[in-house]
Amino acid sequence: MNQMEKHEQFDIDRLRRKITQGSGGDATSPPQEGGKINALARQVADHLSEGNYSPAIIIGQMRLFEFLCLLALGLGAFYFVADASSPALWVDLAVAVLASGATILVMQITDCYQVPALRAPLRSVPRIWGSWIAAAVLAALVLFLAGDHAFASRGWLTVWFGIGSAFLLLERVLFGFQIRRWARNGVMERRAVIVGGGQPAKDLIRALEMQPDNDIRICGIFDDRGTARSPTVVAGYPKLGTFAELVEFARLARIDMLIISLPLSAEERILHLLRKLWVLPVDIRLAAHSNSLRFRPRAYSHVGAVPMLDIMDKPIRDWDSVAKRIFDIVFSLLALAVLWPVMVAAAVAIKATSKGPVFFIQERHGFNNEIIRVLKFRSMYTEMNDPTAKRAVTKNDPRVTPVGRFLRKSSIDELPQFFNALRGDLSLVGPRPHAVLAQTHERKYSEIVEGYFARHRVKPGVTGWAQINGLRGEVDTDEKIKLRTTYDLYYIENWSLLFDLKILFLTPIRLFNTENAY
């Protein structure tokens, strides 16, 4: 066995399978829900409680902004300089669109949209203007191949090229100033926690600090070992707590990445650690800078020149999250436009048949295990309501009103959750949110299912993959919550907008199965 084959035994896919293995099975020991954190850790978490801007989102917006501005400058130059009665009008307009798009594409290829290039725009001016010149050459080539050689009559192209060059320089300088300002204020950064202390953590921190234009902000260190092997301060950064406390810290703070600074040879220790941490909606990376192991290039991601092995990725991130949010808003508004007569009728029926409010608000677990307030039509007698859902509704439950029984069987009681989706607490499609104290046979769900909290790595949904597969209604056995969690984790790992559409359109059909709906 050669050196490469030996090192490839550390298989990332195999490690991921080990982490998630048994997530729908018995929990041999109750998973940690997060311990109390010390005063320093809480102070840091409070400081990081505000969200930051994703570089991918900002860069995507910048691409669109530059394309639209270049196109607008081109159309302006054409309007003021060109002859609008020219028979080649549409050709010129097509050239403006093509050249604007080609400029953005070439700048993308030449790394003009990388964060270091944005922070130091003057260093990337040759590549920016080179992209603009390449687009101009492409425009001329298109006109030539189209058999239109009257370049002299297209003075607007020359004007556009001059104005566009000045715009790109000025815009990049101003944007670079704003990027650096955001970096100083902690707005545009990737917040990272180092997992594991001692000398490996110190070496990792020094390697990260040496990277020019580094967008990683180290927020602290977590380690289970005592001060003899893991000092309280490493390379100027404090140790904020243990691994169990890290789970709670990452839920309070807006953390983007966990970087594990353990040697690859400690696979069992890494595996034990990851089984605690994979439930968090963050990127999990394993630092590989100090290891002699060499993997194929595609196995790595990099922070500057520091190699990282990608263990887990945050699901539904960046532009995927934007697309999903637009999906939620559009389809929630459509649903409300279609279903408002049903909702009005339900509200009238509730008010006419029992005393109390029309709506019922219940606290449930949301994204990243945060507490959200979910809106429903009231289906129980007011004096018998159970906001905690500690006692599940059963068949022929005397607490449920006659109207409420129909609303629950038809799922009409859930329709007000479209307002939760518009507000952003819920998504239209996702794992169904469970009540904070929901349990089966006096045991919380997290005590039954290992990895239960991993279903909170995405926003919960009004409907979900488990529900259209018949898993709705009462959860009266361990097997039911295990199976629901398995379906929820499958959804998270295989998410796409088409998958959401499939679930959304199958939901009304599957509602005819009311076997477990009480």
pLDDT band at 25 (very low <50, low <70, confident <90, very high): very low
Cα separations in angstroms, 76 against 154, 158, 177, 418, 470: 14, 13, 27, 44, 58
pLDDT (average), residues 144-171: 78
CB of 230 closer than 8 Å to CB of 198: yes
* Cβ 25 vs Cβ 482: under 8 Å: yes
Q: What is the pLDDT of residue 115?
A: 81
| pLDDT score of 299 | 57
Q: Which domains does the chain have, with CATH numbers?
A: 8-52+189-314 (3.40.50), 55-185 (no CATH), 319-510 (no CATH)
Q: 272-283, pLDDT tens digit by residue?
A: 888 888 888 989
**pLDDT at 427 (0 to 100):** 96
Q: Which two tokens stand for residue 288?
A: 């590989």
The listed range with the strongest mean pLDDT (3-12, 82-91, 118-127) is: 118-127
At residue 306, the pLDDT reads: 80
Chain-centroid distance of CA 65 in Å reads 23
E-strand ranges in 323-469 read: 359-365, 371-377, 427-429, 439-440, 443-444, 461-463
Q: How is the chain split among helix, strand and coil, in percent rounded to 5?
A: 55, 15, 35
Q: What is the pLDDT of residue 152?
A: 45
Burial class of residue 166 in the structure, from the number of CB atoms within 10 Å of its CB (0-12 exposed, 13-18 middle, 19+ buried): exposed
Q: How far apart are CA 241 and CA 358, in angstroms?
A: 46
Pick the residue with more confidence: 324 or 30? Answer: 324
Q: Are 412 and 440 in contact (CB under 8 A)?
A: no
Stretch among 79-88, 94-103, 170-179, 206-215 having the lowest mean pLDDT: 79-88
Given a cut of 70, whether residue 518 has pLDDT beyond it is no
Least confident of 57-71, 286-300, 451-465: 286-300
Q: How far is CA 414 from the centre of its chain?
A: 25
What DSSP letter does each residue of 424-439 carry, written as one string?
Answer: TSSEEESSPPPBTT-E
pLDDT grade for 10, boundaries at 50, 70 and 90: low
Lowest mean pLDDT among 104-108, 330-334, 479-483: 479-483
List the one residue out of 454, 465, 475 whose CA is nearest residue 499.
Answer: 465
Residue 3 has pLDDT above 50, yes or no: no
Q: What is the pLDDT of residue 304?
A: 67
Question: Under DSSP, is residue 399 helix (H, G, I), strand (E, B) or coil?
Answer: coil
How far apart are alpha carbons 35 and 278 in whole angstroms? 16
Average pLDDT over residues 188-202: 85
Proportion of the chain above pLDDT 70, given as a percent: 83
pLDDT at 323: 93
Tell me the mean pLDDT in the region 34-50: 79
3-class secondary-structure state, position 361:
strand
pTM: 0.80
Helix (H) or strand (E) segment spanning residue 240? strand 237-241
Query: pLDDT digit string (tens) for 116-145?
Result: 888 888 888 999 999 999 988 888 787 777
Q: Tell how strand 283-287 and strand 257-260 pair up.
A: parallel
* pLDDT per residue as tens digits for the range 304-357: 678 888 888 889 988 899 999 999 999 999 999 999 999 999 999 999 998 889
Question: What's residue 30's pLDDT?
Answer: 39
SS3 assignment, position 272: helix
Please give the residue that has the higher pLDDT: either 376 or 36. Answer: 376
Question: What is the average pLDDT score of the chain?
Answer: 82
Q: Is the pLDDT of residue 68 over 80?
A: yes
pLDDT at 458 (0 to 100): 93
Least confident of 83-97, 379-393, 482-496: 83-97
* pLDDT greater than 50 at residue 288: yes
Q: Is 284 exposed, middle or buried (0-12, 13-18, 19+ CB in 10 A)?
A: buried
Range with lowest mean pLDDT among 64-73, 286-295, 313-322: 286-295
- The pLDDT of 6-14, averaged and rounded, is 54
pLDDT for residue 42:
86
